[in-house]
Amino acid sequence: MAAIYNLYIINKSGGLILYKDYGSAGRMDTNDSLRVASLWHSMHAISQQLSPVLGCAGIDLLEADNFDLHCFQSLTGTKFFVVCEPGTLHMENLLKYMYELYADYVLKNPFYEMEMPIRCELFEISLSQAIQKDRVALLGR
């Protein structure tokens, strides 16, 4: 199946709270991933300004030469985005599922501080399982 290269979660102010790399050649160090996340946050906001019609909620999909970037923004402003191979299907379902996992393993964790980097082991385990398992399971959602 088509590959997911990496995924990011950013909080409502644009700060990076999770960055996971699943085998891209261009793995970034912490500083770069922080910069890239903030840059994406700003681009997402600017794209709403340039909309020709009312009601724009920001970029959902960015298609580049070597990758696609799918973004999901929750109602609270938390953004989940994933970098994958061009043409990968069902990324929206994956992002929504990721949001569910986030709500269950991170937000319901009493030791987690809001808007801070995620350090919840169970979350990362279930995330890796979701990424690796067959797409068919995600289709049913």
Partner 1 sequence: MQFFGGSDISPSPPAPTAPGNNAHMIYVFNRNGVCLLYKEWNRPLHTLNAQQDHKLMFGLLFSLKSLTAKMDPTSAEKGNLGVPQLPGQGCSFHSFRTNTYKLSFMETPSGIKIILVTHPKTGDLRDFLKYIYNLYVEYVVKNPLYTPGTPVSCELFNTALDQYVRSIA
Binding site for partner 1 (CB under 8 A): 5-6, 24-26, 28, 32, 35-36, 39-40, 42-43, 46-67, 69, 83
- Smallest distance from partner 1 to CB 127, Å: 18
Residue 11's alpha-carbon distances to 19, 35, 67, 76, 126, in angstroms, are: 12, 14, 23, 9, 20
Q: How far is the CB of 92 from partner 1 (least distance, A)?
A: 12
Hey, how many other C-beta atoms are within 10 angstroms of the C-beta on 124? 16
Q: Which of residues 38 and 109 has its CB atom nearest to partner 1 in the complex?
A: 38
Using a 10 angstrom Cβ sphere, with 0-12 exposed, 13-18 middle and 19 or more buried, the burial of residue 60 is middle
Least distance in angstroms from the C-beta of 87 to partner 1: 11
